[in-house]
């Protein structure tokens, strides 16, 4: 039986339950047994919002794309977040990975966000300072 629990790292680098439900599940485990776990960083919803604010800002400052989703997919693919699929006729296509909470964990999404900032500053709005871009995003999100 598989259970999902929320964990946190203690100051002594031990895993501990992050909420009462998780604590109850962990207390029900048999001491001395070995359990397998796949750890992912819980997604940061604020960073997710910030990512889409960034994309909106970039979309408004460019003239190549007519659709923000096409732009996001091209940026995602350019940064290496893609999969290759083969169609029924044998042709291959490159598709952007999904950035949904269910498909990308917090660590991978944080990398994507930071690489997107770098890509924007280098390739889409050349010459823009990354720190200035981040300040503009913060200003937009808070006010």
Rounded (to 5) percent helix, strand, coil in the chain: 45, 10, 40
Could you tell me where the DSSP H helices lie in the chain? Answer: 20-27, 45-60, 68-78, 106-119, 130-142
Q: Are residues 35 and 54 in the same domain?
A: no
Measured in degrees and rounded to the nearest 5, phi and psi for residue 109 equal -65, -40
* Orientation angle between helical segments 68-78 and 45-60, nearest 10 degrees: 110
Give dist(CA 61, CA 11) in Å, integer: 44
Same domain? For 61 and 27 the reply is no
Pick from 73, 63, 6: nearest CA to 37: 6
Q: Are residues 29 and 95 in the same domain?
A: no
Q: Is the entire prediction scored with pTM above 0.75? A: no
pLDDT score at 104: 85
- Token couple for 19: 């909420």
Average pLDDT per run of 10 along the chain, which is 143 residues long? 82 89 89 88 81 91 91 96 95 93 85 95 88 86 74
138 and 74 together in one domain: yes
- Number of domains within the chain: 2
62 and 103 in one domain?
Answer: yes
Same domain, 134 and 82: yes
Q: Domain check: are 69 and 30 in the same one?
A: no
Exposed (0-12), middle (13-18) or buried (19+): which is 112, by Cβ within 10 Å?
Answer: buried
Residues 16 and 63 in one domain: no
CATH of the domain at 128: 1.10.3790.10
Hey, how many other C-beta atoms are within 10 angstroms of the C-beta on 99? 20
Residue 24 shares a structural domain with residue 70:
no
The verdict on 31 and 66 lying in the same domain is no
Residues 51 and 29 in one domain: no
Q: Are residues 58 and 21 in the same domain?
A: no
Helix or strand (DSSP H, E) at 17: strand 15-17
Distance CA(99)–CA(92), nearest Å, equals 22
* pLDDT tens-digit map of 36-54: 988 877 778 788 888 999 9
> Which structural domain, as residue segments, surrounds residue 97?
45-142
């Amino acid at each position: 039986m598989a259970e999902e629990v929320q964990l946190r790292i203690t100051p002594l680098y031990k895993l501990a339950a992050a909420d009462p439900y998780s604590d109850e599940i962990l207390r029900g485990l048999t001491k001395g047994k070995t359990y397998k776990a796949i750890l992912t960083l819980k997604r940061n919803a604020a960073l997710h919002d910030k990512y889409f604010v960034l994309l909106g800002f970039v979309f408004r400052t460019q003239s190549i794309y007519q659709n923000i989703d096409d732009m996001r997919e091209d940026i995602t693919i350019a940064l290496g977040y893609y999969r290759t699929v083969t169609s029924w006729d044998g042709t291959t296509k490159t598709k952007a990975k999904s950035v949904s909470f269910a498909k990308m964990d917090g660590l991978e999404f944080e990398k994507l966000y930071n690489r997107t900032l770098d890509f924007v500053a280098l390739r889409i709005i050349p010459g823009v300072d990354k720190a200035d871009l981040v300040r503009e995003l913060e200003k937009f999100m808070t006010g």
